Amino acid sequence: MDRDRLDQVIRNFFECDPRPIVQIIRELLASLQAEQSLPPGILMSRNYETAQENPEIHTLPGNLKDARDAIFPYFWGTDGWASKLHLENVKGPANYASLIGAIACLLKNPNLCVDTYSQRSNELELKAITALANLIFYHTESPWGVFTMGGTISNLYGGKIGIEKVAPGAMRQGLAGRPLAGIVSEAAHYSNATLAGWLGLGIDHLHAIPTDRNLSIRLDLLEARLEQLHASGRAVAFVIATFGSTDAFGIDDLAGIRHLLDDFSRRHGVPAPQLHVDAAVGWALCFLVEYDLESNPLKLTDEMRPCVAAAQRACQMFRFADSVTLDFHKLGWGHYPSSAFIVNRRDDLRFLARQPSDMPYFSEADYRRDPALFTLECSRPAIGPYSVMASLNGIGLIGYQMLVANAIELATKLKRRIEELEFCKVLNPETIGPSVCWWVLPRGRDAKAIFAALEAGTLDEELAHRTFGEVKRLFEKREAILDPARDAKLSFTTSMGYRPGGHDLPAWKAVFFNPRTDDAVIDQIIRSIEDVA
Ligand SMILES: *Cc1c(COP(=O)(O)O)cnc(C)c1O
């Protein structure tokens, strides 16, 4: 070995020299700030055409600036979603307290699989999970959980526990032809279909129950489906309820579902299906649980009071859940990946447990400290715990109350302004989150009457399809003429979750995720609607 050349590589890449590192971070921050003077989403166009043909890498060892140069165009060409005009979806700018946490995490690069690889970072995970569990469950007995790669994986953990409850030993023997099923609502996230497929249940055995107009699962239809599945010999492994649907923020009645499941279990002498709650976006309403509406310290508008009261009532229902998915990288404004899977009773994790003998190279693992004994993942990043604890303690409970209440307040305002236009119809007027879904029809059309007829089943099929086409056409018209420096970026969903008469309802969509979005953005949305209608 040419020791001198090796030493050069070690000096440049394995010794911590703060000067070049800090200098490059400054440069990256400067370009981030420069980006903020530009309209969103137009930084640099993609070059997929030759990305695959040109995967060359340097031959000779370089330095940290070579590392910078290798990624810089892609960094610059990526929108950090800092603009207040981004309203497309449940994606926001990450907060800077989370950045401090995430940088600290990257500097040590712990692996949360076992305690011996991550020491106090494992302790931080325990703390972060407990802090989040206390926010959602309140007086829970023995919450426990882990951070995962995302809401999809957190939901998968919930589904898997359900399968093990009704088909004991499936982890080892497989489903072996045992007929199982899972249940969600029609407004549920598609990740539930993903997990049904990946867990071997089969997407065809995931049943989607219609919702009411508030995007809440129909309990009567849920009960009927439970009975029907039981009668046909299928064991129901889980019901994955939605707390905050992705498009329209519908919330399922967790107390009602719990009652149905316990009753079903008692009457038929079968294990109650796992009640997993997908609160990937909706969990953040829990920040408002202790808000005092009487003294109203944050000076929330009168319009907001019923929303906060409804949020408080809804959050009380978390105690009926067996397990919960919570994405801190959504309404916690944390970095990816910061999703938590939390069980209400720690004992339920035994359904996922491996024996230490199943994992020879972690033979000393201890169930109390080593998540690898039950996690899907082996290596596991610690970004989640660092992001969560840095953010929760930096921003604080009241800071989060302001952020969440502000998002709801803006959504409520936009709903009111849109509903005032006779050619428009808000499709989720009663849901309490940051999301607004609506129709825009050509001027002169009575959108409310058309919607009412659709719900009543009296709307002619042809007129229904023409209406849906117009909603889409007007959205595209706005897209074509909008001014990217002034007009908010909205999105379009082909089905917002509520399906009256089995129709998928297309909708314009705005999600108030960015704390910098203000009333002027709303005024301009209304102007742009009036311009295209
Ligand atoms: C975003 C979302 C998911 C998926 O979470 P990821 O973190 O994107 O994997 C699941 N359920 C709901 C309701 C969501 O909004």
Q: Separation of 19 CA from ligand 1 center, angstroms?
A: 39
The predicted structure's pLDDT at residue 37: 86
Q: Separation of 480 CA from ligand 1 center, angstroms?
A: 30
Q: Cβ of 412: how many Cβ atoms within 10 Å?
A: 20
Atom of ligand 1 nearest to the CA of 150: 7
Please give the single-letter amino acid code of residue 213.
R
Q: At 172, list the tokens.
A: 């080892």
Ligand 1 atom 10: the closest Cα is on which residue?
A: 151
Atom of ligand 1 nearest to the CA of 279: 13
Q: At 14, list the tokens.
A: 């394995």
Q: Separation of 388 CA from ligand 1 center, angstroms?
A: 17
Q: Give the helix/strand (H/E) hosting 296.
A: none
Ligand 1 atom 4: the closest Cα is on which residue?
A: 151
Beta strands in 22-121 (DSSP E): none
Query: Which of 240, 276, 327, 333 most suits a substitution to test ligand 1, by most atoms within 8 Å of the C-beta?
Result: 327
- Rounded to the nearest 10 degrees, the angle between the axes of helix 383-419 and helix 519-532 is 50
Atom of ligand 1 nearest to the CA of 339: 7
CA gap 32, 5 in Å, rounded? 35
Helix (H, G, I), strand (E, B) or coil at 275: strand
Ligand 1 atom 3: the closest Cα is on which residue?
A: 151
Per DSSP, what are the bridge partners of residue 489? 86
Nearest to 159 by CA among 204, 128, 200: 200
CA gap 461, 487 in Å, rounded? 34
Provide the pLDDT confidence category of residue 18 given band limits of 50, 70 and 90.
Answer: very high
Ligand 1 atom 15: the closest Cα is on which residue?
A: 246
Q: Give the helix/strand (H/E) hosting 193.
A: helix 191-198
Contacts 24+ apart (CB under 8 A), 219-223: 219/253, 219/256, 219/257, 219/260, 222/183, 222/257, 222/260, 223/260, 223/264
pLDDT tens digits for range 212-236: 999 999 999 999 999 999 999 999 9
Site residues for ligand 1, CB cut-off 6 Å:
90, 150-152, 189, 191, 242, 246, 278, 280-281, 327, 339
Atom of ligand 1 nearest to the CA of 155: 10
Mean pLDDT, residues 155-183:
96
Report the mean per-residue pLDDT for the chain.
95
Helix (H, G, I), strand (E, B) or coil at 285: helix
pLDDT tens digits for range 372-401: 889 999 999 999 999 999 999 999 999 999
How far is residue 365 CA from its own chain's centroid? 32
Mean pLDDT, residues 85-99:
95
Q: Separation of 473 CA from ligand 1 center, angstroms?
A: 28
Atom of ligand 1 nearest to the CA of 245: 13
Asked if residue 492 has pLDDT above 70, the reply is yes
Count of alpha carbons within 13 angstroms of residue 209, beta-carbon side: 26
Q: Separation of 186 CA from ligand 1 center, angstroms?
A: 15
Query: Which of 185, 217, 252, 281 most suits a substitution to test ligand 1, by most atoms within 8 Å of the C-beta?
Result: 281
The predicted structure's pLDDT at residue 53: 86
pLDDT tens digits for range 314-369: 999 999 999 999 999 999 999 999 999 999 999 999 999 987 777 776 666 676 67
Query: Which of 91, 147, 148, 152 most suits a substitution to test ligand 1, by most atoms within 8 Å of the C-beta?
Result: 152
Asked if residue 85 has pLDDT above 70, the reply is yes
Q: Which of 126-140, 286-300, 302-316 has the lowest mean pLDDT?
A: 126-140
The predicted structure's pLDDT at residue 368: 67
Length of the chain: 533
